Homo-oligomer: A and B are copies of this chain.
Amino acid sequence: MTNIRDLAKMAGVSVTTVSRVINNHPYVSEEKKNAVLKAIQDSNYHKNINAVHLSRGKTLLMGVVLPYSDHPYFALLLKGIAKQALEHNYKLVLFQTDYMKSRELEALDMLKHKQIDSLVICSRSCHVSTIEDHLQYGPIVLCENMKGKELSTTFINHYKTFVNALEYLYQKGHRNIGYCIGRKTGTNSRQRELAYSNFVNKYQLEYNQEYIIDQCLYFEDGEKVLKRILGMTNTPSALIVTNDQVAAGIVTACQSLDISIPKQLAIIGFDNQPIARMMNITSFELPLEEMGENMFLQAVNAEVTHKEFSVQFIERGTV
């Protein structure tokens, strides 16, 4: 592997001149420049990026932490991040955690070891304090409502959105409302749980623990959800499903059991994915791609900011 010292020798110039040519710096005569260019041609020279990184103290690498990359919610966030990464000449290092703390720690470690410049955490397992401990090594962006902390955040108001969904269903006459989420822990889930319990209190409804169904991620989980609610002594008449894939799975499972939607079961999905349009599912549209883009930008600009994105309610046929 040839290096700039070799090139310098070949071109009869100094390494500095070679470096200048390589990095398009000014103050190089055409003549020497061409000599260097020729040497590069002849030698199939290629920059050793690690040396550049070491010398510059930067890598142009950004870490992205997410639990599942095949899940549309995260895939869309990732898409937005990747879009901006491309424009800013950054590469991404992906950490698919399956919500294992150890994987998340690996990402934080890479930040600590300067292998990545910054980190976007789309959904975390670690405690905030663990994450804050790593802020000294580089910018970290979270995708949850965490105002006041010294790290940047991008989020939507899950509390308000859930209240809206619940009130909408209440107005439509529903009194037994359940909901499906990915996991019970996490800031977003807690906001939803809060909205739910406040709603139940407000209207003096029964707080039924089993109406909260977690581990709902993919289409096929819809079948499981339906079986579960049908097994309840008091089957809910409506479900808020925080993911259109699962909502579609429930709708499909209902069809094969001849359960009429929305008559026997009303459903509100989330994300407004193509599958929701196809299956005529009422859904909340989240601007996930833009949120991803925003997170990237927050991560490159060290400045700490907090940005809330708004959601849009799309009425269709499942309520």
Contact = CB atoms under 8 A, between A and B. Distances in A.
B278 A220 contact: yes
Contact of A50 (B47, B53, B92, B103): B53
Contacts of A232: none
A87 interface: no
Interface in A167-207: none
Contact of A93 (B69, B86, B91, B248): B91
A interface residue count range (under 10 / 10 to 19 / 20 to 34 / 35 or more): 35 or more
Contacts of A115: 49-50, 91
Please tell me how many copies of the chain the complex holds. 2
A10 interface: no
A113 B76 CA distance: 30
Interface string A87-107: 000011110100000010010
Contacts of A137: 46
A147 interface: no
A103 B82 CA distance: 11
A60 to B, nearest CB: 9
A119 to B, nearest CB: 13
Given A50-B59, A54-B54, A92-B94, 20 more contacts: A46-B113, A46-B137, A48-B113, A49-B110, A50-B53, A51-B54, A70-B71, A70-B72, A82-B96, A91-B110, A91-B115, A218-B275, A219-B219, A219-B278, A220-B274, A220-B275, A220-B278, A223-B278, A248-B252, A249-B275
22 contacts: A46-B137, A47-B113, A48-B114, A49-B113, A49-B115, A50-B59, A50-B114, A50-B115, A54-B54, A70-B76, A78-B96, A91-B106, A91-B110, A93-B93, A94-B94, A219-B245, A219-B248, A219-B275, A219-B278, A220-B273, A220-B274, A252-B255
